[in-house]
Chain A
Amino acid sequence: MNNTATTNNDLLAPSKRLVKRYRAEKRFRRCGIAAITLSLAFVFFLFFTIFSDGISAFKQTWIELKVEFSNDLFANENLAAADYPGLVKRSLRTMFAEVKSRKDKKLLYGLVSPAAAYKLQDMVEADPKIIGTVQEVWVLADDDVDMLMKKKIDRTVPESNRRIRDIQLEWIDKLVAQGRLTTNFNRTFFTSGDSREPELAGIRGAIKGSFFTLLITLALSFPIGVAAAVYLEEFAPSNHWTDLIEININNLAAVPSIIFGLLGLAIFINFWGLPRSTPIVGGLVLTLMTLPTIIIAGRASLKSVPPSIREAALGVGASKVQTVLHHVLPLAMPGMLTGTIIGMAQALGETAPLLMIGMVAFIVDIPGTFSDPAAVLPVQIYLWADNPERAFTEKTSAAIMVLLAFLIVMNGLAVLLRKKFEIKW
């Protein structure tokens, strides 16, 4: 009797020990949730700052000039020799006839980007018939004007502390009132290479550089990595040599990437004599860096193929190679592809080894081949972050956004591939 009573009591009122256990469980769960919340908060903070800084870089300010392509400027046969900057200045002077002093004129000319002169030249060269006519032309505004329009320059601070003078503010307001100043989508950012002028700087060069570099990396590291993983996992005899190789591959995965850059500098550039700053060398260096990742991921996915499949194939008389090629490799492919794409994403975001092989140079031209000097996206970010102009801050953030977009796309692709090729049983 007594015994049953105590048992019932136990069920109704949990013992102290049990209460303590539940409390410990709850505490543990709360810690986990707190850790996740904290890391998510940091990620959101990162994304928020980057987005709020960078989103404005996708817009650009333009000014409409009334340009008179007067015949006297083009007296010379050679159209390229004409004084296009002078033409821009003249247009500005006619639009703001009240500006007289030399100092003020200089400020006035500062409203438009040096690119305005190139644009006029392009127009004339494309269609010489416009000589002698008056055209309304939209030209890029200077980056300071752009910053003002994006409210990144505060009008309320004293004139001496601001890059735009009061008199320039007046002109700008006048232009806005006339509808001669507008902001729209910044195509330049996606179509041009690097530049000293923020309003002219774009990431096309860096994107193409990254593309060529990654193409080399993929073309080399995927076949080499898969072949190495298959040999080590399926064919290599298990002895001290194999162990040594395995340890070294694992060590290579942990080697700081700048060391690979030094290796590339010593071997590919100094010894083989490949050109500096080029995607081909960058690709080779990044191949070295991604190979361990791909080999390790490849071996893991080969290991996860159930041995019963190998037995089944061997049991019907398939040779070792047939077993691997027909059955094991197809089943391991999703894992290998995932590893490769993650390795590629790592390579896409890598800066340090590329600094060593000269891919940190200021390169204006958009690379057309594997042996043209090029920058890559992360290096471009690094270079822009170093520039003093205010307008490069938003360019930096925008470039980071582009890089992140590529990374997200690549990781999404990895997930998709895994889902698609995964064979269920």
Chain B
Amino acid sequence: METATSALTPSFPVMIGNQAESVMEDSDAKETARNTVGTPFVDAPRMTCRNVDVFYDEKQAIRNVSIDVDQNEVLAMIGPSGCGKSTFLRCLNRMNDTVSSCRVTGSILLDGTDIYHPSVDVVPLRAKVGMVFQKPNPFPKSIYDNIAYGPRIHGLTQNRSELDEIVETSLKKAGLWKEVRDRLNDPGTSLSGGQQQRLCIARAIAISPEVILMDEPCSALDPIATAIVEELIAELRTQFSIVVVTHAMQQAARISQRTAYFHLGNLIEVGATEKIFTNPLHQLTEDYITGRFG
């Protein structure tokens, strides 16, 4: 991983300006994103991924993926099962570190900082890049403690009233405040599935991240709860960059500004959502969205 990074950018500094990076990126882009069609890169990205390969032992799960995540956008990642979209998502906040056989090469930058640099600590990284999982996974603690846990361990608050404030605003942003304000001490697990997922979203935004990663956030929810969560994602876009992995193409079409199509570990096409769904450039994308496979 480190060798690949330094090969890509000799004497790579921990922080580099957006300007310098975009110059370099242009020269690289011609080679590395050769097999990605569409518009994977944006002008002022929040996150920049270049030549990312992911291996599980010898097996390569992600091949040479380069893509940007814009500020205040919802980027949807679609593709058939096993295409590596979840694996790629979990590289963005180094959740793959927990899998010992997993190896990531290439560079992933958050605000110009290589998040795989040896001196980068995953704890602040995950505070900046929050994550919402497929299955709602509230802690078996009270609703209040679920939200307060992140701010507590990161020392974001000085006293109880500040913490109360964070809990309240997070729940409000997640659209859950009205439903739970009278029972903040009930266990988080006592909520319904959709409420639990919104609780998990509230938990993620309580530590004010810059990017929120969502791994099929609605696949365990019923259609009504799904609609509520989708609305919430649209609202959250004003403050956060959101990367959503989803199985449902319609969902990608409804909530995202840009869509990335993965196929067998390759990033086939990235483009504005309406373009991907109406006029895809690549044959594989077209086959997938027209339901020929997947």
Q: Which residues of A are interface residues toward B (Cβ below 8 A)?
A: 237-238, 306, 308-319, 322, 326-327, 331, 423-425
Contacts and interface: CB of A to CB of B under 8 A. Distances in A.
B40 interface: no
A312 B124 contact: no
Interface stretch (B57-65, B135-143, B237-245): B135-143
B100 A315 contact: no
Contacts of A424: 140, 189
B126 interface: yes
A242 to B, nearest CB: 11
Interface string B183-212: 000010100000000001001101100000
Interface stretch (B30-38, B146-154, B273-281): B146-154
19 contacts: A308-B135, A311-B98, A311-B137, A313-B139, A314-B95, A314-B98, A315-B93, A315-B131, A315-B133, A316-B127, A317-B125, A317-B126, A317-B127, A318-B149, A318-B153, A327-B139, A424-B189, A425-B140, A425-B189
B133 A312 contact: yes
B130 interface: yes
Contact of B153 (A311, A315, A317): A317
B7 interface: no
B100 A238 contact: yes
Contacts of B139: 309, 312-313, 327
Nearest to B147: A316
Contact of A316 (B135, B150, B187): B150
Given A315-B93, A317-B122, 16 more contacts: A306-B137, A308-B135, A312-B139, A314-B95, A314-B98, A314-B126, A315-B130, A316-B206, A317-B123, A317-B154, A317-B207, A318-B123, A322-B153, A326-B153, A423-B140, A425-B138
B127 A309 contact: no
B153 A312 contact: no
Nearest to B135: A308
Q: Which 8 A-B pairs have the closest CB atoms?
A: A308-B137, A317-B126, A315-B131, A316-B150, A425-B189, A317-B127, A423-B140, A312-B137
Interface string B106-127: 0000000000000000111111
Contacts of B133: 308, 311-312, 315
A237 B203 CA distance: 30
A316 B149 contact: yes
Contact of B98 (A310, A322, A425): A310
